[in-house]
A and B are shown apart, each in its own frame.
Chain A
Amino acid sequence: MMRSRDILGFATRAATAYPMRTGLMMLAMAIGVAAVVLLTALGDGARRYVVREFSALGSSLIIVLPGRTETGGVGAGSFVTNTPRDLTVDDAAALLRAGRVTRVAPLVLGNSEIAYAGKLREVMVIGTTTAFADIRNYRLGQGRFLPEEDWRRGSAVAVIGATLHQELFGAEPALGQMIRVGDRRYRVIGVLAASGSGLGMNADELVIIPVAAAQALFNASSLFRIFAEARDRDAVPAAKTQILDILKARHDGEEDVTLITQDAVLGTFDRILGALTLAVAGIAAISLAVAGILVMNVMLVAITQRTSEIGLLKALGATGSIIRLVFLTEAALLSIAGALAGLLLGHLGAWGLRLMFPVLPAYPPDWAVFAGLGTAIVTGVLFGVMPARHAATLDAVDALSKR
């Protein structure tokens, strides 16, 4: 029987002898595999980007929203009233009693305008307390953050974002200067270090003032959110229960708040984007099936071209199974070569993508690379079987008489 190394060698010679045909087939395979690699890199990159952005929020963060957004079934409370109570600074302060909660920051949010030395612009104002800097991992470029003080007594101080600092003060020193926000004046005590990112709120363009000052500015007594931080990631569920218990007690036994944890949000995004990546990979895989059909066609043409060679091999004593093996090996070789070329192409494309969009970690996931390569090789071989069988069953006399 023919040695497997000789079969491989013979098939390689046959594949390289027709560069046009081989190139075409490899191209089809390569495009398929490259599409899988590139598209999954894109999908997974997006997923990782979102996950990373959320992680920037801090992994043991619990956000308290007023009002109940989920349907939790019908409880005794749901017959009493539908209007949720506002969250107050006292609610926030009460949360400090929860054993699993280490930091609490009330949050008031509003739009206003900021003015300094005749320069004026729209700005987002946050009213909060000292702990907010640690919860959101803000770093200060100059000065300090809001001072520890009674939450109900807001002193007229402000911390501004890096971009605001640049726009209002330029190269001048900002610390100690008085700025006007709305109709009140505040002394700048700190400037945040430039951060660049931050989902939803860009910290570089914020003005942060004490929570009571913000309530006075916007003439509001309620809070937009309460940010609470659990002791660590594992303490999050217990902290949630404690927060709910405290607020329920303060709100006449009614559970009228919603708690959002990063894990829940992250999990949802992770699932959605993961499914999207999978769907995109599936679509790309269709191109592999098309490539498989091309492999079959090209092999059938090859067999027609080489009919007399098949006749010769039979006359020289090749059995049907040898001929089948030779052509199957050829199809497999072309598929593998095409798949590897596609892998290279896909990685090159992903690299280009990362160059163009540095924030997007566009790396193809391992499963996609293996699935792409595997599908390419399996379809190539599968679609090579039919032509190979056809070659093996050719009549020797007829085949030899073909020119």
Chain B
Amino acid sequence: MAQIELDNIQRIFQLGDSEVHALQDVQLRIDAGEYVSVMGPSGSGKSTLLNLLGLLDRPNDGHYRLEGRDVTTLSADEQARVRRERIGFVFQSFHLVPRLTAEENIALPLLLAGISPHDRKARVAQALDDFGLAKRGDHRPDQLSGGQRQRVAIARATIMQPAMLLADEPTGNLDRATGEEVTQLLEALNGRGVTLIVVTHDPHMGERAQRQIRMEDGRIDSDSKRPAP
């Protein structure tokens, strides 16, 4: 059984009088621990696919089974729980809460999950250490560099030990060197067994993934897998 199973997924947006087929008949299997890049021109449906995978959006038709469970029919609250426990998001613009320190930003998912302050503290300290942010815990986002911000965001995305990481242009707002650093960090996490799905414009980054999905007009155009090294 694959970790992610998409069957006949349709996503249609209503724009005025016209319908836009953001996703058409998408059929996809992703196994646990895979490293997948999703590429394609703007409007090809790759972001919609990521939102669907992250349970931020629902398909108009079709089925999405996550770890064997049909998640399309879950209630909003149940979906929130799945997001909380199984899915980590990394965004292009980091999405850190500006008034909270790095520590507090990383602790947010633990806060939402109702983890006790004592456990929270230990886990956040560990995360700060792991991501090389030990001295930046009490800094607010505006006191951090772009790379540091994205590392805080990644620490936040992984603090609940999710089964998969969904990254939407994670290096889009970073310079080349910092982008490379962040990419390596994500790949290292993937190396430890987390499924990594990256949506990117950057062919250089896309080619690093073992499996590359190319999208066009809401359909999967090509799906190529490089043999494991």
How many Å lie between the Cα of A311 and that of B93 in the bound state?
13
Does the CB pair A317–B91 fall under 8 Å?
no
How many Å lie between the Cα of A292 and that of B149 in the bound state?
38
How many Å lie between the Cα of A96 and that of B158 in the bound state?
98
Does the CB pair B95–A17 fall under 8 Å?
no
How many Å lie between the Cα of A385 and that of B184 in the bound state?
45
Does the CB pair B109–A317 fall under 8 Å?
yes
Known: A2-B111, A2-B114, A14-B99. Is A316-B83 also a contact (CB below 8 A)? yes
Shortest beta-carbon distance, A398 to chain B, in Å? 10
Of B73-81, B125-133, B174-182, the segment with at least 4 beta carbons within 8 Å of chain A is B73-81
Q: Give the residues in chain B near A317, CB-CB below 8 Å.
A: 80-85, 87, 109, 112-113, 160
How many Å lie between the Cα of A2 and that of B113 in the bound state?
6
A6 proximal to B (CB < 8 A): yes
B147 proximal to A (CB < 8 A): no
Does the CB pair A308–B80 fall under 8 Å?
no
Does the CB pair B51–A397 fall under 8 Å?
yes
Known: A2-B111, A320-B77. Is A315-B100 also a contact (CB below 8 A)? no
How many Å lie between the Cα of A317 and that of B56 in the bound state?
10
Does the CB pair A13–B114 fall under 8 Å?
no
How many Å lie between the Cα of A112 and that of B194 in the bound state?
108
B206 proximal to A (CB < 8 A): no
Of the candidates B77, B95, B112, B117, the one whose C-beta lies within 8 Å of that of A2 is: B112
A124 proximal to B (CB < 8 A): no
A59 proximal to B (CB < 8 A): no
B54 proximal to A (CB < 8 A): yes
CB contact list, A320-340 vs B, under 8 A: 320-322
Q: Give the residues in chain A near B114, CB-CB below 8 Å.
A: 1-3, 6
How many Å lie between the Cα of A3 and that of B111 in the bound state?
7
Q: Give the residues in chain B near A320, CB-CB below 8 Å.
A: 76-77, 80
Known: A1-B114, A400-B91. Is A315-B97 also a contact (CB below 8 A)? no
A309 proximal to B (CB < 8 A): yes
A319 proximal to B (CB < 8 A): yes
Shortest beta-carbon distance, B55 to chain A, in Å? 9
Q: Give the residues in chain B near A308, CB-CB below 8 Å.
A: 95
B61 proximal to A (CB < 8 A): no
CB contact list, A4-35 vs B, under 8 A: 6, 10, 13-14, 17
B108 proximal to A (CB < 8 A): yes
A314 proximal to B (CB < 8 A): yes
Does the CB pair A316–B112 fall under 8 Å?
yes
Q: Give the residues in chain B near A313, CB-CB below 8 Å.
A: 108, 112
How many Å lie between the Cα of A314 and that of B108 in the bound state?
11
B89 proximal to A (CB < 8 A): yes
Does the CB pair B97–A312 fall under 8 Å?
yes
Q: Give the residues in chain A near B85, CB-CB below 8 Å.
A: 317
Shortest beta-carbon distance, B181 to chain A, in Å? 23
Shortest beta-carbon distance, B217 to chain A, in Å? 20
Does the CB pair B93–A319 fall under 8 Å?
no
Q: Give the residues in chain B near A178, CB-CB below 8 Å.
A: none
Does the CB pair A315–B112 fall under 8 Å?
no
Known: A13-B100, A309-B97, A317-B81. Is A322-B112 also a contact (CB below 8 A)? yes
Does the CB pair A314–B97 fall under 8 Å?
no
Known: A2-B111, A314-B56, A397-B56. Is A319-B51 also a contact (CB below 8 A)? no
Shortest beta-carbon distance, B165 to chain A, in Å? 12
A280 proximal to B (CB < 8 A): no
A300 proximal to B (CB < 8 A): no
Does the CB pair A319–B95 fall under 8 Å?
no
Q: Give the residues in chain A near B112, CB-CB below 8 Å.
A: 2, 313, 316-318, 322
Does the CB pair A318–B57 fall under 8 Å?
no
A123 proximal to B (CB < 8 A): no
Of the candidates B82, B109, B117, the one whose C-beta lies within 8 Å of that of A316 is: B109
Does the CB pair B89–A315 fall under 8 Å?
yes
How many Å lie between the Cα of A261 and that of B77 in the bound state?
71
How many Å lie between the Cα of A176 and that of B113 in the bound state?
95
| Contact pattern, A 298-310, Cβ under 8 Å of B = 1, otherwise 0 | 0000000000110
Q: Given A3-B114, A317-B81, A397-B57, 11 more contacts at CB 8 Å?
A: A1-B114, A13-B100, A309-B95, A313-B108, A316-B84, A316-B109, A317-B87, A317-B109, A319-B76, A322-B112, A400-B91
**When A and B form their complex, which 4 residue pairs have the shortest distance between CB atoms, in order from nearest?**
A317-B84, A17-B99, A317-B83, A319-B80
Q: Provide a sorted-by-A list of 26 A–B residue pairs whose CB atoms are within 8 angstroms.
A: A2-B111, A2-B113, A3-B111, A3-B114, A3-B116, A6-B111, A6-B117, A13-B99, A13-B104, A14-B99, A309-B97, A313-B108, A314-B56, A314-B80, A315-B89, A316-B108, A317-B81, A317-B83, A317-B87, A317-B112, A317-B113, A319-B77, A320-B77, A321-B77, A397-B56, A397-B57
